[in-house]
Structure 1
């Protein structure tokens, strides 16, 4: 494999994880995709650009380079389902709309997928875990913000239209409740956007697995509707006119996380 992730170490106890902006494909995946998947419609488009203020905040940033069509970094390695109803797995076989992802007989082999697990999934999670351990060792606690985006209307996955900001804390299990409420209040103050806490998206594997408030690791997922910063359909243009107001709210959320940590832990 070539470069499978990008990682920048920060100076505050916050790690921003971006598991789904990657666009790299392996030959087996590229050659097997149905025509509707070639444009990578289920990508978390432009997420690194949307959060490019992270360096100013001093946050660490971890971003995937390979597409979720190769392997989904926000699923457990044993592929245990995270949600009831329609969802996608560790090795996706369908598009978000429910249609097949691969042409008949052209899905990657079991051996190829084992390689993806070893050479893409494992390095991402090793880096994520090691950075959280470093932060906790240095500061006494660690904050994890798992950054995602999605089209606001996907009938196969959920009814109706999503709120703009979808915060998930695994129903309160992945972070301190006081932190969750502060983030919820930050979204509520942005009157031009709708929001929800622990709605359809409660946090995927990363939030659920690494969030451990009893041991001072607090994890939150944000699923952001793409209409708040981009065109949701091909060619998926980034829209600065939409993105700039959204970035103000995103930066506010991360500043609240950092401030909460300093207030609670004194550093």
Structure 2
């Protein structure tokens, strides 16, 4: 499989092909914005505040487990790789930023008035950024199934702990999404529940405010051989929220060390 997809001179994603049934994806870790799109954004947009800063680094153990990894390089403000390509809402009745966001999570515009992407531009971004990422993800899962007869997709995300427009109060530290038990099943789901029952270093919830985005829901329902789990992590559990663009392994290490045995157990339970 290709290691990346080139759009102009910047890859759309970073890809590593592993040997195990495990595939770890992080669709919102990218910060790159192509110059033509960056020129259209306002200062709020160019600040890329809603990046899942460094969440993929919590899974630095992935290669030790033989995992395949797929990490986005472009900002979600270019296009949101975890949204339905048709633009359908994941959580009807709730505020969402959409396939090509026009605001941040606090509902501040990221484009000057009158400069939001038109329908043709959304289609163009979907073709050049969204589709190659999902083509690679589908190929990675198919390869895992071909090798092992099964695959586990972990879709890794992070978010600020307090965002009034999205949820009340503060999120639990770890938010697991299985689309209400539809994408993680049987022994694998039980393994997650057992882990939660004995883990108290971090607060956690299953299928709370975040039940899994497009990636988890789509690929987790694609085939009985594929299971999927979204993990939405509050950012101040692994970084300094005042400087989220800076990564400090010393701050992140405790959570990474907590996640590794969970991931290992989930793969073993497939």
TM-score by length of 2: 0.91
> Per-residue deviation at 1:235?
5.1
CA root-mean-square deviation: 1.6
Output aligned runs, 1:72-111, within 5 Å: 72-84=80-92, 85-111=94-120
2:175 is the alignment partner of 1:166? yes
- 1:44 is aligned, of 44, 52, 60, to 52
SS at match of 2:131: helix
Instruction: State the distance in 2 between where 1:87 and 1:112 align.
Output: 19
Distance in 1 between residues matched to 2:61 and 2:168, nearest whole Å: 33
8 Å CA contact 1:39–1:234 kept in 2: the answer is: no
User: Partners of 1:205 and 1:258 in 2: how far apart?
Assistant: 22
Aligned to 1:116: 125
Q: Deviations over 1:181-224 (max 9, x none)?
A: 31233244332210000000000000000003862211000000
* 1:18 and 2:47 aligned: no
The change in CA–CA distance for 1:68 and 1:140 in structure 2 (over 3 A counts) is same
Q: Offset at 1:29?
A: 2.6
Q: Which residue of 2 aligns with 1:241?
A: 250
CA gap of 1:235–1:19, structure 2 versus 1, over 3 A, is: closer
Q: 1:214 to 1:28 in 2, by over 3 A?
A: closer
**Contact 2:105–2:163 (8 Å) recurs in 1:** yes
Instruction: Supply the distance in 1 between the matched residues of 2:55 and 2:145 (Cα, whole angstroms).
Output: 26
Shift of 1:116: 1.2
- Report the count of equivalent residues: 261
How far does residue 3 in structure 1 lie from its aligned partner after superposition? 0.8
Could you tell me how far apart the structure 2 residues matched to 1:249 and 1:21 are?
21
Whole-angstrom distance in 2 between the partners of 1:123 and 1:12: 23
In the superposition, the TM-score normalised over structure 1's length comes to 0.92
- Aligned equivalents of 1:65 and 1:239: distance in 2? 20
Alignment of 1:158-197 (within 5 A): 158-197=167-206
Query: Is the CA contact (8 Å cut-off) linking 1:135 and 1:141 kept in structure 2?
Result: yes
Give secondary structure in 2 for the equivalent of 1:88: coil
Q: Gapped runs of 5+ residues in structure 1? A: 262-267
Residue 254 (structure 1) aligned to one of 253, 256, 263: 263
Once the two structures are superposed, residues 223-267 of structure 1 have per-residue CA deviations (whole angstroms, 9 ceiling, x without a partner) of 000011112234533233331110011112210111112xxxxxx
Find the counterpart in structure 1 of residue 4 from structure 2: none
Which sections of structure 2, spanning at least 5 residues, go unmatched?
Answer: 1-6
